[in-house]
Amino acid sequence: MSGQSVVRLGTAEDLDALVRLEKAGFTLDQFPREQLRYLLNQAHTTVLIIEQQGRVCGAAIMAWRKKSSMGRLYSIVIDPAVQGRGLGGKLLEACEDAAIKRGCERLSLEVRADNSRAIAMYERHGYGITEELPGYYADGANGIRMVKFLGAGGATASRLAVPYYAQTLEFTCGPACLMMAMHYHDRTLLLDRALELRLWKEATSIFMTAGLGGCGPYGLAVAAQRRGYQARVIVSTLQTPFLSSVRHAEKREVIRLVDAQLREEAQALGVIQDHRHCSFRDIVQAIEQDIIPIVLISTYRLHRVKAPHWVVVTGFDARHVYFHDPYEGFYAGEARHVRSAIADFQRMRQYGKALDKSIVFVARRRHGRSERRH
């Protein structure tokens, strides 16, 4: 059989074809007819069919869970008579597209440990082994679980040529990141310590866990917006940033007051504000639109030091995220385009007991004053 293949949603009329594929593709662990009928009609599952010249050649079943960012590829099968023609890869990519549309950041699957052909295909498509499953199958065979992060939309990659600026003070990671973002959009901008301190004075929370205060998302957004850039903030909680790490009651009250003032100014200046879970897909979409993401992380997973810290994401690929870290002291080598596995970066993005997540996006200049010098 030859010709163009088409992927579509499965319907009740595909039941006989699904039963045929199960018998042809699996000697053990076959879905019975009634279970396939059930899966075709459930809201928490999606069945995709790939066909050529009107004949069903393969199928995939995906399962979804409410409030979960991970989808599961429950089953995928290609008719043995047409294997080796790229149909499995095309169907797998369609599954990933379906998962992204459902808001999933990851797609997981299980495969027999002795199925080297299937494992190789999954690895070519960016899946990595996350768990061994002893005795997982009915005949006692071992399985493995594989996961792919879908932040890159399945197969794309992008890297922005963001200029680098190293913070010159312990508490100015946020301003340094904002300077990098602004300079990306305006290469005439002079990056120096004077601007670094000016931005810090505008954006600081006054106090921090110790010493002088750092900068929260609203402070950085306000500083960018004042200069004519379009800023957008996504925060996972409406709570005051960094408050849980400050014990002194009077300092906590000052931080609350400053944060409230900055939120009001952000609203007045037109900063776009979203109060929701900020996914890795948000970062990917920003980079694809030439918008710079400034991301709050916890340095604990990087350097075993528990502290909030801002970095600039500069790119991504199927497995990794790349960022500029303004604090060169963390690195014996290069702090530019630091590479991190997406899974590790996702864990870094949770700070504090409340697991706060914050991102400030900086888009190109709209209007307003500039910091450039002639």
Domains belonging to the chain, first-starting first, are: 5-149 (3.40.630.30), 158-364 (3.90.70.10)
Q: Report the distance separating Cα 183 and Cα 165, nearest Å.
A: 10
Residue 155 confidence (pLDDT) above 50: no
- Supply angle C-alpha 48, 53, 56, rounded to 5: 35
Phi/psi of residue 233, nearest 5 degrees: -120, 130
Q: Report the distance separating Cα 31 and Cα 18, nearest Å.
A: 9
Residue 88 confidence (pLDDT) above 80: yes
Q: What is the mean pLDDT of residues 25-36?
A: 82
pLDDT computed for residue 207 by the predictor: 55
Taking only Cα atoms into account, the Rg of the chain, rounded to an integer number of angstroms, comes to 25
Which ranges in the chain belong to alpha helices (H)?
15-25, 33-40, 87-101, 116-124, 173-185, 193-203, 217-226, 249-269, 280-288, 300-303, 342-348
245 vs 368 pLDDT, higher one: 245
The terminus-to-terminus CA distance of the chain in angstroms comes to 69
Confidence at 352, pLDDT banded by 50, 70, 90: low
What is the edge-to-edge ordering of all strands in the sheet holding 143-149? Answer: 5-9, 45-52, 55-63, 70-78, 106-112, 143-149, 128-133
Among 298, 313, 327, 237, which residue's Cα sits nearest to residue 273? 237
Q: Report the distance separating Cα 95 and Cα 127, nearest Å.
A: 13
Q: Report the distance separating Cα 126 and Cα 156, nearest Å.
A: 11
| DSSP code, position 69 | S
Q: What is the mean pLDDT of residues 168-185?
A: 95
The pLDDT tens digits for 190-220 are 999 999 999 999 998 765 555 567 789 999 9
Residue 2 confidence (pLDDT) above 90: no
pLDDT computed for residue 154 by the predictor: 43
The pLDDT tens digits for 73-85 are 999 999 988 888 8
**Top mean-pLDDT range of 59-68, 168-177, 321-330:** 168-177
Q: What is the mean pLDDT of residues 297-325?
A: 86
| Cα–Cα separations (whole angstroms), residue 110 to 131, 171, 316 | 9, 45, 26
Q: Which tokens sit at 328?
A: 């060169």
The pLDDT tens digits for 128-142 are 888 889 999 888 999
Q: Which tokens sit at 126?
A: 């960016």
pLDDT computed for residue 85 by the predictor: 86
Among 271, 157, 143, 138, which residue's Cα sits nearest to residue 203? 271
pLDDT computed for residue 152 by the predictor: 47
Q: What is the mean pLDDT of residues 217-234?
A: 96
Which is it for strands 272-275 and 128-133: parallel, antiparallel or unpaired? unpaired
Longest dimension (CA), the chain: 76
Residue 123 confidence (pLDDT) above 50: yes
pLDDT computed for residue 373 by the predictor: 42
The pLDDT tens digits for 262-273 are 999 999 999 999
Please name the residue that has the structure tokens 């639109």: 289
Instruction: Read off the amino acid at residue 320.
Output: H
pLDDT computed for residue 111 by the predictor: 93
Give the burial class of 83: count Cβ atoms within 10 A of its Cβ; 0-12 exposed, 13-18 middle, 19 or more buried: middle
pLDDT computed for residue 353 by the predictor: 55
